Amino acid sequence: MTEMGMYMNRIIAGIVLAAGTLAVAETAVSVYFYRRTMKRSKAKKERTIKMAGTDWDQYMDVIHQKKEQMMSQEHEDIYQHSKDDLKLHATYFPGNRGKKMVICFHGYTSQGTSDYIGLSSYYMSHGYQMLLVDERAHGESEGEYIGFGYRDRIDAMGWIDWAIKTNGEDIELLLHGMSMGGATVLMASGLALPKQVKGIISDCGFTSPKYVFTHVLHTMYHMPAFPMMQITDFLNRTFSGFGLDQCNSAREVRKAKVPILLIHGDADHFVPCSMCHEIYDNCASPKMKLIVKGAAHAESYYKDTAAYEKALDDFIGGVIL
């Protein structure tokens, strides 16, 4: 072999080695990202709050007061099993035991009794029973891998069935979701919902985990989504059985028949408000939209309570007698 040939072989070997090292590094980073994001044991509420960037300190006094009021109401723990045999938990507030109920779905790394503290006073004062669901891999519900709405929409059908069996065929139901819970109820809109479900409310719901993760990688970590998203998608298909864009709220609402109210803050940098507009534009059922000026992620109710409650009044007045 000539000296030039040997030199070229060394260059090629170096390129192959560098490419292999880069591929290993990308895979390692992707696995790390996947574990921190999708596994219950690694996904931390404190990290989610920091990433979302909402200043909750300014509302803590009212949150503590409202939570004390909420938990002083009659309530009980409810359990049932998912179709894949996870034990799921919800907290049931029967209120005046009337024929109206809202089933509530919380956000990522949260739990049922955390995200509906403020709204509990609204719903219970309007005569609603409340069922505050702990989504799979959250709160007291079992599960190691987070469902991001895809799995949870099927679990939601189980809670709807429970509500009907417990209260009778004449119960009128609302589904209300916050963030990941918002995606859950929007994804459920594409299912064959029973006639008792009269309306869906989504507060800062996202289109799909793929696009939330892509947004976070670009804006918070300043990293390219490729090939991390492809590797993460493969890992999730392997361990959780679904792709990160397999169920997308903006696509599912094209099949929706139940009226939908979308709420979003225009200062939400975690789940961008553009997702709300995309979902609204795709929605096939009767729809309303409230954009709260200056509200960060999941802050809309506290940022402008009057506007939020008026939107609920207007929406619910059109779907429940």
pLDDT, tens digit, 9 for 90 and up, residues 292-316: 999 999 999 999 999 999 999 999 9
Q: How far apart are CA 317 and CA 321, in angstroms?
A: 7
Q: What is the model's pLDDT at position 18?
A: 41
**Distances, alpha carbon 94 to alpha carbons 73, 77, 79, 101, 128, in Å:** 9, 11, 15, 9, 8
Band of the pLDDT at 226, cuts 50, 70, 90? Answer: confident
Band of the pLDDT at 164, cuts 50, 70, 90? Answer: very high
Query: Is the predicted pLDDT of residue 140 greater than 80, yes or no?
Result: yes
Regarding predicted confidence, which is higher, 20 or 110?
110
Q: What is the model's pLDDT at position 217?
A: 86
Which residues constitute the domain of residue 189? Answer: 39-208+247-317
Report the 3 state secondary structure along 34-89: HHHHHECCCCCHHHHHHHHCCCHHHHHHHHHHHHHHHHCCCCEEEEEECCCCCEEE
Residue 58 lies in a domain: yes
Percent of the chain with pLDDT over 70: 90
Residue 152 lies in a domain: yes
pTM reported for the whole predicted model:
0.91
Query: Is the predicted pLDDT of residue 284 greater than 50, yes or no?
Result: yes
Residue 228 lies in a domain: no
Residue 285 lies in a domain: yes
Residue 5 lies in a domain: no
Structural domains of the chain, count? 1
pLDDT, tens digit, 9 for 90 and up, residues 246-267: 999 999 999 999 999 999 999 9
What would the mean pLDDT of 147-163 be, rounded to a whole number? 97
Query: Is the predicted pLDDT of residue 1 greater than 90, yes or no?
Result: no
Residue 2 lies in a domain: no
Q: What is the model's pLDDT at position 10?
A: 56
Residue 24 lies in a domain: no
Q: What is the model's pLDDT at position 321?
A: 64
Residue 221 lies in a domain: no
C-alpha 175, offset from chain centre: 13
CATH code of residue 116: 3.40.50.1820
